[in-house]
A and B are shown apart, each in its own frame.
Chain A
Amino acid sequence: MNQSVFRLTLPILFGYLPLGMAFGVLFTTQLEYAWWAAPLMGILIYAGAGQILAVSLLAVNAGLLEVFVAMFVLNARHLFYGLSLLGQFRGAGWRKLYLIFGLTDETYSLLTSRPRGADRAYEQEVDFRITGFNQFYWVIGCAIGALLGDNVAFDSTGIEFALVALFIVLTLEQFKALGEGFPIWIGAAAAGVSMLLLPPAHQLIGAIALVTGVLLIEYRRARKQHLQEEGNHG
């Protein structure tokens, strides 16, 4: 089983090792903490974009409430991953907790797209090992990157742009998956308004509140239209 799990997770190995290394390098070059805190974060937090954002939060000694809100919102997309896996994880017993903990973007896409047999317990064991393999790649990447950043001397000025680049890539991926541009424009506009009106410390939270509000209004409008159309047909 491990051999086939390794083959399934190979693309994730190639994604996680370098991204984990980027986080590790960022961590030790931007911060004064011990290198092993980077793989420790890979074990306990286990979130790619989240950990890279964490470096910039650690750099400014962000308050813990802000840390909670920022990490929660950045990872809020995971709320919707779980919704589509409720059935698949049902009855997985003690493995379920780790399956939920390890539900990153990449693991989610693998678990929801791979072919599944009829033996439910067996497939859940495969899901469990996939999750474990993926986290292992991630932690190793974090450790290698942190050691590199600590021991290889180079001018790392500007390396924090990796976070911006990552967010741009994730936005483009969301756009391609969705095929609709309007949430992208709502998000960018909310950020712009919030940056004009609020001090830097409150800009993220303000923009998130604004985006959620606009999406709720949009939901009500779409519902009303939908009900009206149904009324016309009925």
Chain B
Amino acid sequence: MGETGYLAAFIAVAAIATFATRVIPFLFFERHTEHPLVRHLGRYLPAAVMALLATVFLQRSADWSGAWVGFDALLPGTLVVIIHLWRRNALLSIVAGTLSYMAIQQAGL
């Protein structure tokens, strides 16, 4: 499979997976919206999945063996939390965290 072929297949799969999450309730749950299990998962699953993703990718962007022992990512991550709790502006929090991480990586300390 060539590079363009892979990209085309990738986009198709990603588009189908994304659309599936949006269309499934309309296909299968028309009669089950009040089921307590559906409401339980609807309430808690999104928060748990977001925390899971944040943890996994934060760990992966850190350098645990170098002089920073992980703080090259933990510091920018903490900055995102602080700025977001302070101003609650998603874009500001993301830009500030990313710029500080880039500065640390590019300084090559």
A residues near B (Cβ < 8 Å) are 15, 18-19, 22, 32-33, 37, 40-41, 44-47, 50-51, 54, 57-58, 61, 64, 67-69, 71-84, 86, 89, 96, 100-101, 103, 155-175, 178, 182-188, 190-192, 194-195, 200, 203-204, 207-208, 211-212, 215, 218-219, 222-223
A74 to B50, CA, bound (A): 8
* Inter-chain contacts of A61 with B (CB < 8 A): 6
* Inter-chain contacts of B30 with A (CB < 8 A): 86
* Contacts across chains A and B counted by CB atoms under 8 Å: 255
Are B36 and A68 in contact, CB atoms less than 8 angstroms apart? Answer: no
* Inter-chain contacts of B29 with A (CB < 8 A): 82-83, 86
Are A76 and B49 in contact, CB atoms less than 8 angstroms apart? Answer: yes
Are B49 and A86 in contact, CB atoms less than 8 angstroms apart? Answer: no
* A223 vs chain B, min Cβ distance (A): 7
* A21 vs chain B, min Cβ distance (A): 10
* A139 vs chain B, min Cβ distance (A): 14
- With both beta carbons as reference points, the residue of chain B lying nearest to A54 in the complex is identified as B14
A207 to B49, CA, bound (A): 9
Are B46 and A77 in contact, CB atoms less than 8 angstroms apart? Answer: yes
* Inter-chain contacts of A51 with B (CB < 8 A): 14
| Interface pairs (25), CB distance under 8 Å | A19-B94, A44-B12, A45-B18, A46-B18, A54-B10, A58-B10, A71-B13, A72-B21, A79-B25, A82-B23, A82-B25, A100-B19, A101-B22, A157-B102, A157-B106, A162-B94, A168-B81, A168-B84, A175-B47, A187-B50, A188-B51, A188-B54, A195-B56, A211-B49, A215-B44
* Inter-chain contacts of A187 with B (CB < 8 A): 47-52, 55
* Inter-chain contacts of A83 with B (CB < 8 A): 25, 29, 33, 38, 42
Are A67 and B93 in contact, CB atoms less than 8 angstroms apart? Answer: no
B residues near A (Cβ < 8 Å) are 3, 6-7, 9-26, 29-30, 33, 36-38, 40-61, 73, 76-77, 80-81, 84-85, 90-91, 93-94, 97-98, 101-106
* Inter-chain contacts of B54 with A (CB < 8 A): 164, 167-168, 170-171, 188
Are A161 and B97 in contact, CB atoms less than 8 angstroms apart? Answer: yes
* B27 vs chain A, min Cβ distance (A): 9
* B23 vs chain A, min Cβ distance (A): 5
Cβ-closest 8 pairs across A and B:
A82-B25, A187-B51, A80-B42, A77-B46, A158-B105, A191-B55, A158-B102, A187-B48
A72 to B30, CA, bound (A): 20
